[in-house]
Chains A and B, each alone.
Chain A
């Protein structure tokens, strides 16, 4: 599932190039009345999946950054040597070397064509050679990402290497120009190979019109004269060509066929006998190389952790070959990681470009046109040269990054993730620094290169060990999430499993559905501030995922806002729709069970009633205020819960929120809701209804890290049965005895309703009862556990149980004193309802009141008989501002069978 097959940095470097997308005239609107999507955004959308296009003969695309004025900056894997420079040497006069060059280039082209696009930009400068002299094609996607050249003002490609049919089609800016086919690349390759073989440049000094004429005239004789012969004749090279080995001549002739139907495709060429002795380049993800990398990894672990108990085995040194001293640990990290770290180390693309003389802008006064029409057409403006294409690739220096990481001890690159070593590790020097770092605010941690390096290395390791490492992934995620591996880690935490790929593929997402128009309307305005989600590619992806979800959940329907729920998952898994779909589905299953039923009112109302209880439980003052101004949660929190905050916060906040939310159970979002209200409580308490609801809908800068911390605190201080909901997801069936069945019940992640039930558990209340009551009810089970009365076999509550003297709850028994003396819960206090309150509603001073006041913060449980007395009593306490008031569900009766009720009266 976790696709980490990305190529390591190795000896490559990072290259940067830049160009401009063409801009629209101002104020132009599309057919839907919305502004035209900027071309740079379209390019950005198309670019995304290139990030996961791996092939050993292709340079990896790493990033595309949008600058000002439609500038686009491409970051790719890069090598300093290219064919243009090397062709002069004698390397390729050797037949074998020549054929290998051809073979490897064709391999790269074939992979591009297999993926449904064409290079169209071949040039000896774009055929790079790595340190071992092997081919790496670069700049191969410019034609594709610019919509076959439609989104830029410059022509893509080098005329000298263009096939006649490409030139015949006319300029790519015209709408009638058909996109070039894959066989045009084969022609370009033919020209390049011819130049290499003959070691001379064809038509080096011609003007552009002359050059175009020459190429177009190659077709003059139709099929009667082969273009190759025309070229050779023109340059009197026929004799020199004849001296070349037969295989080379044959190959070049094949490539330069005039008619596309006669010209072989890249794939055909690979199968040609000329290349009989070559075998396909191996991908790193192939099992053999993975084996060797695993072995290498083991060796490294043994080497760097030899101080620990592993040294007993004493083969660390034996296994490690002579390579010692300067070892480049960074070279083994993937390009994606290295580029990310480069950014953290202070790398700035625009700055790099500026250093090399790019990004020069003419003064604004010089860019004024002579005439602007009222339609926004601009006349008499000299074309800015910078809008033309410059194929220079700047190499990013990794020196600064290497220097920055110098002090990282080698063992940190090879962490142990199991057993006691894990703890031992934390004694080393760098781990101590890390410990300090982990105390810093999240935003700082995310920008700190040392910290992120460790997190990345660790998560990379853990994710490779998934699903075995799932518990550890969860534990680490509690601390924080390295943004680089969020997509994979979320999928792991959501326990996405099974063959979601084929499940997704099997569903028809293209046939029109009645809901399509609604989806279109909503998707078009869903998180559009984000440039990736703004792109047309994202729109179509989001639509497909939503449709797929609707089709695979026929009993559920589309509710506005669901687009927002889906968006973060698409954003993270932009290049893996199926995974985005699987994550989103798992998320909805877990947190939004039945929320998207066509009639969800019962579900939502119950959820909101429980939410009200939680507010009263944790913040009675706020709850009382909200009641006094009739500010019902329904008016503002529907949006919160129906979209799990995805429609409330911008993406970056959603990510931080979900990093924790995903770890919690389906009740956790309720705690998030309380935490949000608490963050605004000082304002809310001062204001009337309309001001309050304005504050809430404005969502002033919510500090999401604090919100997350508060939510956890609230969650841990809420008895688990307080959030019981009858409409929550029924327990999963036992049959899925997958790897997950071995996990133990954890209070944090497991739902109340998934825990084993007994007669002491809670039963459902009607919605009316639920809405009428102000406090949460807790189960007898919870009560016993909170008092520590029974040695319940496996404690599931996170509430720290201080086994000694300090009880964490206060039990108020509100029955009359006779009933009380006949049997009550040990250490409970008798406060008969009819004597407890003065006519004005205040509490009449008594022992219970003293206890209440001196132990604020304890969970107060009101116990009575069945009936409304206990809830009413509890409601009175809330009115008086007592926090953490709850009611025991079922009354004292349900404890009779347990035999723990005591008859004596210890409080007197």
Chain B
């Protein structure tokens, strides 16, 4: 990393590297931008401003010796911006459809997004359904079972998340990462062959445990940081956040 601009978490490592385009869709104010911000920067803003058009962010994760780079398009939620959406989901390998568990309408909207993606998205698109704002369970309007049943019916990933508490945020993206075919791997000689991930369930067994141990997460994290250009506080904050996420998951 040269001295240009603000330092980023996504200064990708040099190992085997796959790039994936991921798009976030969903009704406005369900927390799309917040999820991305939590995943990419480990931050949360109560008054996250609305997204106009779309915003772009990247994040890399290390999964089984492979560096996966997510190129994330975070789209505007307002229905008016709908016409722009195909521009972003076309050619995407993954899509996260977000709804707000405290608002039934947003779930209905999420379903229409899933339908649209099934119709117009690329055939191998990995779709994940995220019920966000899980920290506000006392105001829940969408039951987790309902969403889960829907997700199973559509055979898409499902998780309830909270960008505010970081619950399941990283796991959601990691689960997506595991489902993504990694055949675009560059020939760097690192790791195994390019087609290891075929059966997601099998993969779960293989790597699931180590993914949620703080140790590996820590390793994942440090590998993507160039510590020289970071302030200690930044790094510390991110690590703390990751570890606490793991803690929640392990519990």
Contact = CB atoms under 8 A, between A and B. Distances in A.
Tell me if chain B binds chain A.
Answer: yes
Interface of A: 29, 31, 33-35, 518, 521-522, 524-529, 557-561, 563-564, 598-599, 601, 634-636, 638-639, 642-643, 647, 683, 686, 690, 693-695, 697-698, 700
Interface in B93-137: 102, 133, 136
B8 A694 contact: yes
Contacts of B233: none
A525 B5 contact: no
Interface in B1-59: 4-6, 8, 28-29, 46-58
Contacts of A522: 28-29, 50
Contacts of A598: 80
Contact of A560 (B52, B57, B71): B52
Nearest to B56: A693
Contacts of B6: 698, 700
Nearest to B77: A560
Contact of A647 (B49, B83, B87, B133): B49
Given A560-B76, A635-B53, A690-B58, 12 more contacts: A518-B78, A521-B28, A522-B28, A525-B29, A525-B49, A560-B28, A560-B81, A635-B54, A639-B53, A647-B49, A647-B50, A683-B5
Interface in B131-175: 133, 136, 139
Interface string B65-103: 000000100001110110110010000000000000010
A694 B56 contact: yes
28 contacts: A31-B139, A33-B133, A33-B139, A522-B28, A524-B47, A525-B47, A528-B49, A557-B80, A559-B80, A560-B80, A561-B52, A563-B50, A601-B83, A634-B87, A638-B52, A638-B53, A638-B54, A642-B52, A643-B52, A690-B71, A694-B56, A694-B57, A694-B58, A695-B5, A697-B55, A697-B56, A697-B57, A698-B5
Nearest to B84: A638
A525 B28 CA distance: 12
A642 B53 contact: yes
Most buried by B among A34, A525, A643: A525
Residue with the greatest number of chain A CB neighbours at <10 A, chosen from B50, B78, B139: B50
A639 B52 contact: yes
Interface residues of B, number: 32
A694 to B, nearest CB: 7
Contacts of A564: 49
Which 4 pairs from chain A and chain B are nearest by CB? Answer: A638-B53, A528-B47, A639-B52, A561-B52
Nearest to A639: B52
Contact of B52 (A31, A528, A647): A647
Contacts of B29: 521-522, 525
A635 B47 contact: no
Given A642-B53, A686-B4, A694-B57, A34 B80 contact: no
Interface of B: 4-6, 8, 28-29, 46-58, 71, 76-78, 80-81, 83-84, 87, 102, 133, 136, 139
B136 A33 contact: yes
B52 A683 contact: no
B48 A525 contact: yes
Contacts of A563: 50
Contacts of A559: 78, 80-81
Contacts of B46: 34-35
Nearest to A526: B49
Contacts of A643: 52
Nearest to A557: B80
A683 B58 contact: no
Contacts of B52: 560-561, 638-639, 642-643, 647
Contacts of A35: 46
B72 to A, nearest CB: 10
A599 B49 CA distance: 24
Contacts of A29: 136
Contact of B4 (A527, A528, A599, A683): A683
A690 B52 CA distance: 18
Nearest to A527: B49
Contacts of B139: 31, 33
B56 A690 contact: yes
B84 to A, nearest CB: 8
A33 B76 CA distance: 21
A683 B5 CA distance: 8
A642 B81 CA distance: 12
Contacts of A697: 55-57
Contacts of A639: 52-53
A635 B133 CA distance: 28
Nearest to A642: B52
Nearest to B136: A33
B28 A518 contact: yes
Contacts of A558: 80
A423 to B, nearest CB: 47
Nearest to A560: B78
Nearest to A601: B83
Highest count of chain B CB atoms <10 Å: which of A529, A560, A599:
A560
A29 B57 CA distance: 29
A564 B50 CA distance: 10
Contacts of B71: 690
A529 B46 CA distance: 11
Contacts of B102: 33
Nearest to B135: A33
A70 B71 CA distance: 42
Contacts of B77: 560
A101 B4 CA distance: 69
Nearest to B33: A525
A129 B29 CA distance: 54
A531 to B, nearest CB: 12
Contacts of A683: 4-5
A568 to B, nearest CB: 15
A557 B50 CA distance: 17
A33 B51 CA distance: 19
B50 A635 contact: no
Nearest to B78: A560
A604 to B, nearest CB: 10
Contacts of B4: 683, 686
Contacts of B83: 599, 601
Nearest to B102: A33
Contact of A700 (B5, B48, B50, B136): B5
B106 to A, nearest CB: 11
A21 to B, nearest CB: 19
Nearest to B28: A521
B8 A561 contact: no
Contacts of B51: 560
Contacts of B136: 29, 33
A471 B84 CA distance: 42
B229 to A, nearest CB: 15
Contacts of B49: 525-528, 564, 647
A34 B50 contact: no
B113 to A, nearest CB: 17
A33 B48 CA distance: 13
Given A525-B49, A601-B83, A690-B71, A635 B56 contact: yes
Contacts of B54: 635, 638
Contacts of A686: 4
A635 B21 CA distance: 15
B80 A525 contact: no
A601 B57 CA distance: 25
A697 B36 CA distance: 14
A635 B53 CA distance: 8
Contacts of A695: 5
B36 to A, nearest CB: 12
